[in-house]
Structure 1
Amino acid sequence: MSIEKTLFAAADKMRGAMDAGEYKHIALGLLFLRYVSEAFTRRHDLIAEEGGDPEDRDEYLAENTFFVPPSARWSSLAAQSKDARIGVMIDDAMREIEAENPSLKGALPKVFGRESIDRAMLSGLIDLFSNLKLDGTRADFDLIGRIYEYCIGEFASSEGKRGGEFYTPKSVVDTLIEMIEPTHGRVYDPCCGTGGFFVQSEKFIDAHQGRTDDIAIYGQERNHTTFGLARMNLAIRSIFADIRWNSEGTLLRDEFPDERFDYILANPPFNISDWSGNLLREDARWRFGAPPVGNANFAWIQHIHAHLSAVGIGGVVMANGSMSSMSGGEGEIRQALVQGDAVDCMVALPGQLFYGTQIPACLWILAKDKSNGVAMNEKLRDRRGEVLFIDARKMGALVPGSRKQKELSEDEIRRIAATYHAWRGEAREGAYEDVPGFCKSATLAEIEGHNFVLTPGRYVGAGVGEEDDELFEEKFERLMGGLREQFAEGRRLEVEIESRLGSLQ
């Protein structure tokens, strides 16, 4: 068992009956405290060895290391872990660290001193994280980062649907990262959650021998506690980003209204009805048509497209309904997007990838201007008037130890991304070819023949000698999930029709 799994299993056992959503802030907060103390101690000892003043705050600022006051250091807290006031001490430590490091202001949890928090649990977590073996090298910080990331995923799994609101499964993140390849320029996530897309972007660059300082990161998050988790997650990775929060959310109060980005990666909340669409009917972002008041899906898609630079590429996770819905003018918006060459690729994902929901999802790959891209990169194929469709629904396998949760394998992610890059003319090996049952490059005329419905299954056809090897239980659950989604849409339409009829009386 890996150190991440071992540590999480031990930490999770300590939470007892406490709700996973509440406990994650305690466990992840303490893990972050262990990180900043470790980073501070390394720098502290080095300054002392070189004859400098180890208590000079500027010595830490120069090396992008957080300054930790004496009473907030891990060694001090660990020595008092059995004290009845340890929870209050930890809260005070968090406040002191924020006071010394303005970039962390408001990011750290102060929930440890509550009466409901078991002091024995806090002592146990401090002892557990104190026993985390570190070898004194830079690899220690990567280890803590991996543990933090693993814990975020496991807490999301424990929380089910609520966890899915702040965490995008790693295989979905990896698929978009491999397709979009954000290696330089400005990267943006309008609903960044815990910062998973940013962390994976940096990992992608490292894996391809790039320079992480060649990208600038921007993000926005509506949930303040999730905003704090994101800032801690990025700080552990030494990723410096402009992440902003407001209670209204990105669609209603865009923190970067005049900015344009080279890469946008996003997993917006699906099918949100209370997005204040009635207040934004004339918004300049709706170039392809005003989104329906009762569903924000096409507001997110158009927000992302509007924020792309001249040759920008965006990757968006969406509910499958976005590919075919005709309600509220969505069909017309989708048609305008296709005819405007805003859609580069559509990927149908397998079911059961997301925590706590059976709603199947897809990926929209958006392009700002295909002609600009071709003009600036002679390697690219001219794909104006075409859309690539990839049907990955039969991919994925159950996560070991899970009955419901699936994930894509590295080979499957690589195949999806390689197909997209071959289609664009960026292939490392081999030219693009349509593969029955998997991928198809469709023309505008073909898409129009399908009434601008963008479901990949309509275009790729069936594979040669293809057999239906889907388990009955999985197929039944998948079909029932789709049926429930259609029933919900039907009920929504009934309410809308009654409302409109009532206004005519």
Structure 2
Amino acid sequence: MAKKKVETTKSIEETLWQSCDKLRGSVDPSEYKHVVLGLIFLKFASDKFEERKAELIAEGKEKYVEMKDFYNMKNVFFLEEISRWTYISKNAKQNDLALKIDTALHTIEKNNPALKGALPDNYFSRLGLDRTKLASLVDKINEINTLEDEEQDIIGRVYEYFLRKFAIKEGKGKGEFYTPKTIVNLMAELIEPYKGIIYDPACGSGGMFVQSIKFIESHQGSKKEVSIYGQESSPTTYKLAKMNLAIRGISANLGEKHADTFSNDQHKDLKADFIMANPPFNQKDWRGENELIDDPRWKGYDVPPKSNANYGWILNMVSKLSENGVAGFILANGALSGGSEEYKIRKKLIENNLIEAVVIIPRDTFYTTDISVTLWIINRNKKERTATINDQAKNYRNREKEVLFMDLRRWGSEYEKKFVQLTEEDISKVAVHYHNWQQKDWETTYKNIPEFCQSVDFDTLKENDFSLVPSKYIEFVDADSSIDFDTEMKRIQTDFKELLKEEKQSQDQLINAFKTLGYEL
């Protein structure tokens, strides 16, 4: 499918970004994002506070306007005068503006337990931002009317847009706090997290949770029917997640603090109905040589190799799934084949009928890597059954011995000149084929399509030594297109290294020959 270029008009998010980005100066994006997003949160919290205060006055309850409980009962954060946007804006020209902002954020967090560990800590004073530029930034953010149109979620859109732009700015090797929205949307459409417990073991800035709630609301569900659990190891990203969720009014348990999921699991006894994750790709040295050997998360499987955490993440998620739980997660393509310890785990996962689908995502979808990556779906219950989803009965057939493969490498639309995103039409087409394949009447609603999708039985997987590389199974009209490019590139690189090694050996032999003849080289 050819890539299309999408023409867009300038939005409020884009206009605000261009204004704010000009003010950044010499501050690194990884630091600056906490400044901007902290101010956006402060503006939002203040607007909600002032709205609630006006309600109390209108109800004749003016004597209660400074009482915390009358705000908390409406899920509004209570703000002391020094934490209100009107105070910050009024003092924007003062030399101690940075200190006033730090104090405002600290006071909000102190007065609202739900925000514990959420807000930037002493960022403004520590960074030494130019006072004039900081004042200009305050003026720009002052232009956002966060309550103008709640249906359009202005503040949520701005926050989301800034997260994405900061992820792009930070570039390869950084920006791991953000998963592209279209990938999260695809994941949600496939695993359908309507109600129950949703978990993300590497939650970044909380994008999986935000899009899950949007999915539920777009299908006339209620966010009150889900409970959210997550974990994040980076202290600054942990703050981003808590702010992101607070802005949307989403309650979540992200653990007592930021912590590594492997060494300090914050949700040891959790059983989730849905897992959505984009853990770090090919994480090295994630455990010590003799650490986590007897971890209960690997029970029934080999211990994942310490050289690569991919299968550690997989088994962590498998261990957290409830009896009917479904997981959707992103991994680098290398996890699809190879590796001695990984092979044994992958084989066992297939034999245990856990792997339901493998979807190759287009290249250049992620801001931190240009390689093609894979969306895995793991399902604890692939048996024949009837389930009610969004008040509609779905009749699932027995898929225990099958895996659905999809290849989307040629799909998507270009944006930001060098990235690719799946369109709504792309996501809808993938979801329809996937759900049709799951149903009892699948033989009338689903069919294998060359260069797109193929349903594969256990015997065929076994014949291919339990490889999960889609190009081994999907039919291609052009035989050359069946090449798995990532695997082929690795082979070419290996061959090239061997050629260099042979060339070096030849040079050494020639030098030794000349030395034998008495020449000094």
Answer yes or no: same fold by TM over 0.5: yes
Residue 178 and residue 163 in structure 1: after superposition, are their counterparts in 2 closer, same or farther (change >3 A)? farther
For 1:323-472, list aligned pairs within 5 A. Answer: 323-327=336-340, 329-371=341-383, 379-399=395-415, 401-402=416-417, 404-425=418-439, 431-463=445-477
Q: What SS class does the counterpart of residue 285 from structure 2 fall into?
A: coil
Residue of structure 1 equivalent to 2:4: none
Q: Aligned partner of 1:289: which letter? A: D
Are the structure 2 counterparts of residues 486 and 316 from structure 1 closer, same or farther at C-alpha, using a change threshold of 3 Å? farther
Distance 2:140 2:491 in 1: 45
Q: 2:487 & 2:212 partners in 1: Cα distance?
A: 35
Q: Partners in 2 of 1:226 and 1:372 — Cα distance?
A: 41
Question: Retained in 2: the 8 A contact 1:347–1:392?
Answer: yes
Deviation at 1:83, TM superposition (A): 0.3
Alignment match, 1:159: 170
Quick one: which amino acid aligns to residue 189 of structure 2?
E
Paired residue type of 1:395: W
Change (3 A) 1:483 1:416: same
| Higher mean C-alpha displacement, 81-90 vs 237-246 | 237-246
User: 2:322 maps to which residue?
Assistant: 309
Matching residue within 31, 34, 37 for 1:28:
37
Distance 1:481 1:241 in 2: 42
Q: 1:413, CA displacement in angstroms?
A: 1.2
- The one-character-per-residue Cα deviations of 1:231-253 (angstroms, maximum 9, x if unpaired) are 00000000011112656510122
Query: What's the counterpart of residue 19 of structure 1?
Result: 28
Matched residue SS, 2:399? coil
Contact 1:167/1:194 (<8 A) preserved: yes
- Aligned with 1:207 (options 207, 218, 221): 218
Cα 1:217/1:375, change in 2 over 3 Å: closer
Question: Within 1, Cα distance between the matches of 2:448 and 2:316?
Answer: 31
Counterparts in 2 of 1:479 and 1:321: CA distance versus 1, 3 Å: closer
Structure scoring higher RCO (CA < 8 A, sep ≥ 6) equals 2
Q: 1:429 offset after TM fit, Å? A: 12
Which protein has the larger Cα radius of gyration, Structure 1 or Structure 2?
A: 2
**DSSP-derived class of the 1:285 partner:** helix
Supply the distance in 2 between the matched residues of 1:326 and 1:74 (Cα, whole angstroms): 55
Q: What CA deviation, in whole Å up to 9, does each residue of 1:357-387 have, x standing for no partner?
A: 1222101100123238568976001101111
Write the distance in 2 (CA, Å) between the matches of 1:279 and 1:248.
17
Counterpart CA distance in 2 for 1:32 and 1:46 is 21
* Residue 107 of structure 2 is aligned to residue 93 of structure 1: no
Q: CA deviation at 1:162?
A: 4.1
* Contact 2:358-2:406 at 8 Å conserved across structures: yes
- Matched positions, count: 479
Structure 2: tracts of 5 or more residues without a match: 1-9, 499-521
Structure 2 residue 53 is matched with structure 1 residue 39: no
Question: In structure 2, what residue type is equivalent to 1:156?
Answer: A
Q: Percent identity?
A: 40
- Tell me if structure 2 keeps the 8 A contact 1:20–1:159: yes
Q: Go from structure 1 to structure 2 and tell me whether the alpha carbon gap of 1:231 and 1:397 turns closer, same or farther (over 3 Å shift).
A: same
2:58 matched to 1:49?
yes
Q: 1-side partners of 2:95 and 2:141: how far apart?
A: 19
Change (3 A) 1:21 1:196: same
Residues 309-367 of structure 1, C-alpha deviations (whole Å, 9 max, x = no match): 0000000100000001224x111111110010010101111111111312221011001
1:428/1:242 Cα in 2 relative to 1: closer, same or farther (>3 Å)? farther
Aligned counterparts of 2:116 and 2:239: Cα–Cα separation in 1: 9
Q: 2:130 aligns with which of 86, 103, 118?
A: 118
Structure 1 position 274, deviation (Å): 1.6
1:217 aligns with 2:228: yes
Per-residue deviation, 1:36? 0.2
2:5 aligned residue: none
Question: Which one-letter code corresponds to 1:316 in the other structure?
Answer: F
Q: Distance in 2 between matches of 1:235 and 1:378?
A: 34
Counterpart contact for 1:349–1:362, Cα < 8 Å: yes
Distance 1:64 1:426, change over 3 A: farther
Instruction: Work out the CA distance in 2 between the residues paired with 1:333 and 1:411.
Output: 35
SS at match of 1:221: coil
Give the C-alpha shift of residue 13 in structure 1. Answer: 1.0
Match of 2:511 in 1: none
Q: Mind listing any 5+ residue stretches in structure 1 that lack a counterpart?
A: 492-505
For residues 384 and 487 of structure 2, the distance between their equivalents in structure 1, rounded to whole angstroms, comes to 43
What is the TM-score normalised by the length of structure 1?
Answer: 0.89
Does structure 1 conserve the Cα–Cα contact (< 8 Å) formed by 2:117 and 2:257? no
In 2, the alpha carbon distance for the partners of 1:445 and 1:480 equals 23
Preserved CA contact (<8 Å) 2:231 2:266? yes
User: Is residue 310 of structure 2 the alignment partner of residue 297 of structure 1?
Assistant: yes
Query: What SS is found at the alignment partner of 1:161?
Result: coil
Matched residue SS, 1:291 = coil
Counterpart Cα distance in 1 of 2:492 and 2:191: 30
Separation in structure 2 between the aligned mates of residue 444 and residue 483 of structure 1, nearest angstrom = 28
* Structure 2 counterpart SS, 1:113: helix
Worse-superposed segment, 98-107 or 428-437: 428-437
Amino acid of the structure 1 residue aligned with 2:456: A
The equivalences for 1:116-195 within 5 A come to 116-133=128-145, 136=148, 138-139=150-151, 142-195=153-206
Q: Structure 1 residues 218, 134: closer, same or farther in 2, change over 3 A?
A: closer
> Is this contact kept in 1: 2:405–2:474, CA < 8 A?
yes
When residues 386 and 104 of structure 1 are mapped into structure 2, their CA distance, relative to the original with a 3 A threshold, is same
- Write the letter of the residue equivalent to 1:37: S
* 1:40-63 deviation line (CA, Å, top 9, x unaligned): 000011001111111111101111
SS at match of 2:269: coil
Do the aligned partners of 1:418 and 1:427 also contact (CA within 8 Å) in 2? no
**CA distance in 1: counterparts of 2:151 and 2:439, whole angstroms:** 37
User: Which amino acid in the other structure matches residue 191 of structure 1?
Assistant: A
Partner Cα separation in structure 1 for residue 262 and residue 13 of structure 2: 36
Query: Following TM superposition, by how much is the alpha carbon of 1:293 offset from its aligned partner in structure 2, in angstroms?
Result: 1.7
Note the alpha carbon deviations across 1:408-463, whole angstroms, 9 max, x for none: 11111111111111111189996111112211111100001110000111111104
- Map 1:53-68 → 2, pairs under 5 A: 53-68=64-79
Alpha-carbon distance in 1 for matches of 2:363, 2:257:
32
- Please give the alpha-carbon distance, in whole angstroms, between the structure 1 residues aligned to 2:480 and 2:60: 72
Distance 1:26 1:270, change over 3 A: same
Is residue 2:94 matched to residue 1:83?
yes
Distance change >3 Å, CA 448–CA 481, structure 1 → 2: closer
SS at match of 1:394: coil
1:192–1:266 Cα contact (<8 Å) kept: yes
| Residues 65 and 295 (structure 1), Cα distance of their counterparts in 2 relative to 1, 3 Å cut | same
